[in-house]
Amino acid sequence: MPVRTSTEAKGEAYRRVQTSSARMGKIASDVVGMMNGAGMSGEHLVRLRDDLINIIDHITRAQAVPGIADYAKEIEDDPTYDAPTEYATLKAAAETAKTTLETVIPSDGPYVSLYELAVGSGLTPRQFNSSAFASGDGLSLKTAVQAVADAVEF
């Protein structure tokens, strides 16, 4: 009889989503705090985008693992825990935040536009103060990132 690995695959997928969800929730909360406070650099937005891409990928992979829902109920010791719904909620919030981020931040190139601005013959780090997130597109982004934070329970 061959070695059974299905339980390990479920466990790995579940742990990956749980770990990256906790990280994503913390990052999203921190970013909203910066949006409400002193603002942030473009580097923070690039990191946020990368983390959103990662959580979307981890959830997508976990959703394809047969039996992940039952495994999650067993691990959480909660027969009512609905991992597929929770995963779908966080994934949808992350996708919305990623799309909003890519849409609302003015760009003249891919990553360089978030990191830096062309000034004369050089580049200067890009900064966003809290007023950039107080209305309009910036507020839309802050709302989308807050939805990601709200989709994670600590």
Convert the pLDDT of each residue in 70-105 to its tens digit: 999 999 999 999 999 999 999 999 999 999 988 876
pLDDT, residue 111, reads: 38
How far apart (Å, rounded) are the C-alpha atoms in residues 44 and 143? 17
Q: What percent of the chain has pLDDT over 90?
A: 58
Check pLDDT > 50 for residue 109: no
The alpha carbon dihedral of 134, 138, 139, 141 has a sign of: negative
pLDDT, residue 112, reads: 46
Query: What pTM does this model have?
Result: 0.85
Q: How many CB atoms lie within 10 A of CB 146?
A: 18
Quick check: 148 and 32 in contact, CB under 8 A?
no
Domain extent listing, the chain: 6-150
In single-letter form, the type of residue at position 59 comes to I
More confident position, 117 or 12: 12
| For residues 23-33, average pLDDT | 95
For the record, the structure tokens of 147 come out as 């939805």
How far apart (Å, rounded) are the C-alpha atoms in residues 58 and 52? 10
More confident position, 8 or 145: 145
More confident position, 47 or 109: 47
Check pLDDT > 80 for residue 126: no
Check pLDDT > 80 for residue 113: no
